[in-house]
Structure formats: C-alpha cells, structure tokens
Amino acid sequence: MLNGKPQTTTFRTVGPGGLHTQCAALCYRIRKGKPQILLITTRGSNRWILPKGWPVPGKTPGQSAQVEAWEEAGVRGALHDQCIGLFTYFKAGGRQTGMTCMAMVHPLKVKALSKTYPEAGQRKRKWFGRKKAAAYVQEPELAQLLLHFDPKTLQR
C-alpha cells in the first residue's frame, strides 16, 4: 500500500534472468471454529499446491491471486489484499521451464465454489486442515505458512 491505496503491479522478474514473481491465493473457510485450506493439484504432476499465477497488469498482487483462484479452483470469495508471506519453488514443465519463482501469498475467504470454471476438468481440489495441508505441499516455506495460518490475525 502506498498512501492508503493498494498498488498495482506489472512485474514478472527481479534481477537478470533471476527470480520470477507469482501471486498465490490461500483459499480458506472456517469449519467448527478452525480454518480449512483449499489445495488444488498441478496439471502435470498432480502435486498439491495453492492456486497461483503471473501478476495481472493493472491489478494488485492480491487481485491477481484472486483471478487465479477463480481460473484454477472456481473460488469466489473475499480477498484480504495484504501479503501474508512468500515461498519459493522451481517451476518445471509447460512453455516456460527451468525457472525459480517466488510466490506472494494472499488470503481469500471462500464464499462459494463453482462447478464450472476455466480449469475445472484439469485439476482436483480438496479441503484440508492446516496440518494436513502443510504435510501435502512440497515447499517448506509454504508448509510453514499453512501450518501457522490464522485468519483471526488478518487486518480488516
């Protein structure tokens, strides 16, 4: 935020040929007083991940994450536009291979899950408690974020 306004972004990389930036949505709901986290599978290796993708020109990183949550998981919800953490991973496969990415994580409280959305037939989605979600992801930094995620600490 700058002067109280969310800032938009158009960047993709930091440094020459270095780190590529992505925006991730930590989609959550509360059940029996505890947060549950929605994970989706990758299209290639079926690993469990958060919805994430490239920054969308003219949108904040949080808004970009919200777009990815819709496209990859059919999520409609309330965005908390602050980044709650970062994780890095190696992106293999697809058109752009062999790159290190840093994902900015933005919480998104799920209001509804659609049955039809752009990548509906390409991914699985499943709700997990924090401990199970942390155990299912491969990135250690992401696992720690999920394990310690507490929606009560989010700014309103």
Q: Which residue has the higher pLDDT, 2 or 76?
A: 76
Asked if residue 143 lies in contact with residue 149, where contact means CB atoms within 8 angstroms, the answer is no
Global confidence as pTM: 0.86
Task: Express each pLDDT in 87-140 by its tens digit.
Answer: 998 877 655 567 889 999 999 999 999 999 999 999 999 999 999 999 999 999
Domains and CATH numbers, the chain: 19-153 (3.90.79.10)
Q: What is the pLDDT of residues 59-69, one digit of tens each?
A: 999 999 999 99
- Out of 23-37, 85-99, 118-132, 142-156, which region has the weakest mean confidence (pLDDT)? 85-99
Q: What is the DSSP string of 89-136?
A: EEE-SSSS-SEEEEEEEEEEEEEEE-S--TTTTT--EEEEEHHHHHHH
Summarize the confidence of residues 37-44 as an average pLDDT.
94
Residue 93's contacts (CB-CB under 8 Å, 6 or more residues apart) are 44, 45
- How many distinct helices (H) and strands (E) make up the chain? 3, 9
Residue 73, token pair as written in the block: 């998981």
The whole-number pLDDT of residue 97 equals 62
Q: How far apart are CA 50 and CA 42, in angstroms?
A: 9
Structure tokens at 10: 């158009």
C-alpha span between 57 and 8 (Å, rounded)? 7
